[in-house]
Amino acid sequence: GDSVTQMEGPVTLSEEAFLTINCTYTATGYPSLFWYVQYPGEGLQLLLKATKADDKGSNKGFEATYRKETTSFHLEKGSVQVSDSAVYFCALSDGPGGQFYFGTGTSLTVIP
């Protein structure tokens, strides 16, 4: 079945460091891919998405490119801030039935 595998955490970075969180997926069709962010005590919020191969999603300085050949959707940011501290979830939607599949989440802490 469809699934998402993402990098284990936790990740701790200094402010202004480069961030990469790896995400790979398994899907039978042509899924849409998402990154969600969860701040402490809150629900998940959409960070960015890509709906087809080679699409790049971007938001708030974060980017991820849909790579069909490597079945990956890695999240990157060039310079993290303390306010980026949160848990990041990679997800896919395979369309039929509207089901979403989430990774286990990667906790990011950015220290000043």
Partner 1 sequence: NAGVTQTPKFRILKIGQSMTLQCTQDMNHNYMYWYRQDPGMGLKLIYYSVGAGITDKGEVPNGYNVSRSTTEDFPLRLELAAPSQTSVYFCASNEGQGSYEQYFGPGTRLTVT
Specify the residue, 19 or 93, whose C-beta has the smaller distance to partner 1.
93
Asked whether the beta carbons of 6 and 14 are under 8 A apart, the reply is: no
Residue 67 CB, shortest distance to partner 1, in Å, is 17
Q: How many residues lie near partner 1 (CB under 8 A)?
A: 22
> Which residues neighbour 84 within 8 Å (Cβ) at sequence distance 6 or greater?
19, 77, 108, 110
| 112 upstream amide cis, omega within 30 of 0 | no
Residue 112 CB, shortest distance to partner 1, in Å, is 25
Between β-strands 19-21 and 11-14, what pairing exists: parallel, antiparallel or unpaired? unpaired
Which of 28, 69, 70, 96 touches partner 1 by CB under 8 A? 96
φ, ψ dihedrals at 10, nearest 5°: -75, 160
66 binds partner 1 (CB under 8 A): no
57 binds partner 1 (CB under 8 A): no
Which of 11, 32, 66, 80 touches partner 1 by CB under 8 A? 32
